[in-house]
A and B are shown apart, each in its own frame.
Chain A
Amino acid sequence: ETGVTQSPTHLIKTRGQQVTLRCSSQSGHNTVSWYQQALGQGPQFIFQYYREEENGRGNFPPRFSGLQFPNYSSELNVNALELDDSALYLCASSVREPFANTGELFFGEGSRLTVL
């Protein structure tokens, strides 16, 4: 167990709808990152939040947005869903400090999104 929990585990949406996925980080972790994993592919980096601000982003359009809360829980929001957004969405927490970056990610089980 990593201590990272995600909800919901599965959900179905239709094209054009909006979705919010949630993540609770491992205790003591101040950084969260989100990934999209399509079937048969590796995780694709969406963005990272550190101290409630986005500090890194992959090649995803602005309709993918996020939040990190003071308790280090996090949300991923996707607007105007497209069929290609169907994937497993992974949340990972980590510790980021000026002189103590381990770089190790602790992953949750993921939320599987199906867009019809």
Chain B
Amino acid sequence: AQSVSQHNHHVILSEAASLELGCNYSYGGTVNLFWYVQYPGQHLQLLLKYFSGDPLVKGIKGFEAEFIKSKFSFNLRKPSVQWSDTAEYFCAVMGENFNKFYFGSGTKLNVKP
């Protein structure tokens, strides 16, 4: 069965600390990978995506993610977090037919000023 696992449910960091959020997926086929973010009081929005090509993708606000096919992983990273990065982050997988989405359970990031 298709699934997306996010290992960290709640992460607390101080400003300027480095961030890495884990995401592993189980899907039998070509995948398209996403990270979505939900800032407090706002709707879900796209942070970055990977379809093909360079496995290291860059998104908005200094975030990046690396697709490692052999590990079925798509971890999110940021070298130095800011208080404004406080949000909930969701990893998602979309099948090759663009007609099914699978989201992880989310990671709440709390950045202390």
> Which A residues form the contact surface with B (CB < 8 A)?
2, 4, 33, 35, 40-45, 48, 50, 55-58, 90, 92, 96, 101, 103-105, 107-110
Contact = CB atoms under 8 A, between A and B. Distances in A.
B103 A109 contact: no
A107 B105 contact: no
Contacts of B46: 104-105
Interface residues of B, number: 24
A56 B97 contact: yes
Given A42-B90, A43-B90, A107-B44, A101 B101 contact: no
A48 B103 contact: no
B99 A56 contact: yes
Nearest to A2: B43
A4 B45 CA distance: 12
Interface string B94-113: 11011111111110000000
Given A42-B90, A42-B106, A50 B99 contact: yes
Given A105-B101, A110-B43, 20 more contacts: A4-B43, A42-B6, A43-B44, A43-B103, A44-B103, A45-B103, A48-B100, A50-B99, A56-B97, A90-B44, A92-B44, A96-B98, A101-B98, A103-B32, A103-B49, A103-B94, A105-B36, A105-B44, A107-B43, A109-B43
